[in-house]
Amino acid sequence: MINSKDFFLALDQLEKEKKIDKEFFISALESALTSAYKKNFGEARSATVKLNPEKGTIKVYAYKTIVDEVNDPDKEISLEEAKEIKSTYKVGDTISEEVTPKSFGRIAAQTAKQVVMQRLREAERDNISAELNAKGDQLTTAVVRRMDAKNIYVELSGTETEGVLGERDVIPGEHLEVGDRIKVHIKKVRDSGFGPEIQVSRTTPVFVKKLFELEVPELTSGTVEIKSIAREAGNRTKISVYSSDPNVDPVGACVGARGARINAIIDELNGEKIDVIPYSDDIFEYIANALSPAEVISVEINQDAKTSRVIVPDNKLSLAIGKEGCNVRLAARLTGWKIDVKSESTNEKEELDKQVHEVSNVFDDDNSELDLFDDIEGID
């Protein structure tokens, strides 16, 4: 018998400090110690190690099956021998006896240490994974620790866990250095086999949403609601907001006094432009708002095709379309409608061309009738 009360006291301490049930360790220890015993004292024997936390003992038991004729002494015992131990035994029964070697203490101690450390790492890893999964789509602070050609590795606040910023997760034009403290969006947590692999990002629309929730109390209270976000990281973000309370200006709440709230967000986004759009159930008004900062003259829609034609002043066309089409593209994503932007003069010319075409068709029809009369008059 191995008296290991100190060992079990250590398990109790781990349970309190790490909040890990000691039963989590015991089942693993019994399996590992059984393997260690067989490795050192013979693979052939049917043996198992049992831990008793109440008594503070670790014992090795060998098991043999009662048979009429013994072929394998390590695993079998004759009925005659068995009856010497207990008269009620019969063929087919299994008997056990303690076979704990005196030298097993050192082996048990080494094995137990390895198993406990391994299980402790696994438990802590699982706890971190569970905690981070619970924070899915949340914002957290991180410190840049190292970089390589493709990724930036950050330490997540409150843990010793490493998060990975991929190339597409860094805001274009942003230059991060080791030691920088940044905010990141926890995008995905997965088990890599070597611990949780946390993918974080600064380029998702959710990242912007969480920044607004951090800066705008009206969003967390529910007074103001974010209806939609469209983003091209490093360039521009459009966010539509709404309040059911007529006394609350949702755009003003997000911008803040003298732009304090939105400027804090823009600073975190490395100067990215942000258009805060008032949401409207009126699709004509909503599409016009979405093209901000451009002025809109009129909006026509095709409800079935979910397409719209927007007319803007000539001097606002480039503003409405945006650099490389960014503004109109984001407005389309924000509203869910396809948007075709035309300048006022282009629209007038197209309307005039359409009218001329219609008049031409009328004249073509009239000429056909005249030709018909000419044909009739020509008949003798």
Instruction: Report the CATH number at residue 95.
Output: 3.30.1480.10
> Could you report the per-residue pLDDT of 176-195, keeping only the tens digit for each?
999 999 999 988 877 666 66
Instruction: Kindly state whether residues 9 and 96 are assigned to the same domain.
Output: yes
Instruction: Kindly state whether residues 195 and 211 are assigned to the same domain.
Output: no
End-to-end CA distance of the chain: 135
Q: What is the pTM of this model?
A: 0.64
* Residue 355, pLDDT score: 55
Cα 315 from Cα 333, distance rounded (Å): 24
51: phi then psi, degrees, rounded to nearest 5: -105, 135
> Could you report the per-residue pLDDT of 44-54, keeping only the tens digit for each?
567 888 888 88
Q: Which of 150, 174, 201 is the last residue of a domain?
A: 201
* Residue 210, pLDDT score: 94
Q: At what angle do helices 283-290 and 326-335 cross, to 10 degrees?
A: 150
Cα 142 from Cα 202, distance rounded (Å): 11
Instruction: Kindly state whether residues 193 and 215 are assigned to the same domain.
Output: no
* Residue 44, pLDDT score: 59
Instruction: Kindly state whether residues 9 and 123 are assigned to the same domain.
Output: yes
Q: Kindly give the residue spans of alpha helices, DSSP state H, lying in the chain.
A: 5-18, 22-41, 79-85, 104-134, 205-215, 217-221, 250-255, 260-268, 283-290, 317-321, 326-335, 344-377
The two structure tokens encoding residue 194? 């070597």
Cα 36 from Cα 30, distance rounded (Å): 10
The two structure tokens encoding residue 369? 């009738």
Residue among 102, 101, 115, 121 nearest 7 (CA): 115
Q: Which of 220, 251, 279 is the last residue of a domain?
A: 279
- Report the CATH number at residue 370: 3.30.300.20
Instruction: Kindly state whether residues 140 and 176 are assigned to the same domain.
Output: yes
Instruction: Kindly state whether residues 58 and 19 are assigned to the same domain.
Output: yes
- Residue-range definition of the domain harbouring residue 259: 204-279
The total of structural domains in the chain comes to 4
* Residue 265, pLDDT score: 97
Q: Which residues, listed in sequence order, are joined to residue 301 by a DSSP beta bridge?
A: 308
Give the CA angle between residues 17, 18, 24 to the nearest 5°: 125
Q: Which of 231, 251, 279 is the last residue of a domain?
A: 279
Instruction: Kindly state whether residues 97 and 149 are assigned to the same domain.
Output: no
Instruction: Kindly state whether residues 90 and 159 are assigned to the same domain.
Output: no
Residues of the chain with pLDDT under 70: 1-5, 43-45, 124-137, 191-196, 350-380
Instruction: Kindly state whether residues 168 and 96 are assigned to the same domain.
Output: no
Instruction: Kindly state whether residues 181 and 104 are assigned to the same domain.
Output: no
Instruction: Kindly state whether residues 259 and 328 are assigned to the same domain.
Output: no
Instruction: Kindly state whether residues 350 and 249 are assigned to the same domain.
Output: no
- Report the CATH number at residue 144: 2.40.50.140
Residue among 89, 111, 124, 102 nearest 14 (CA): 124
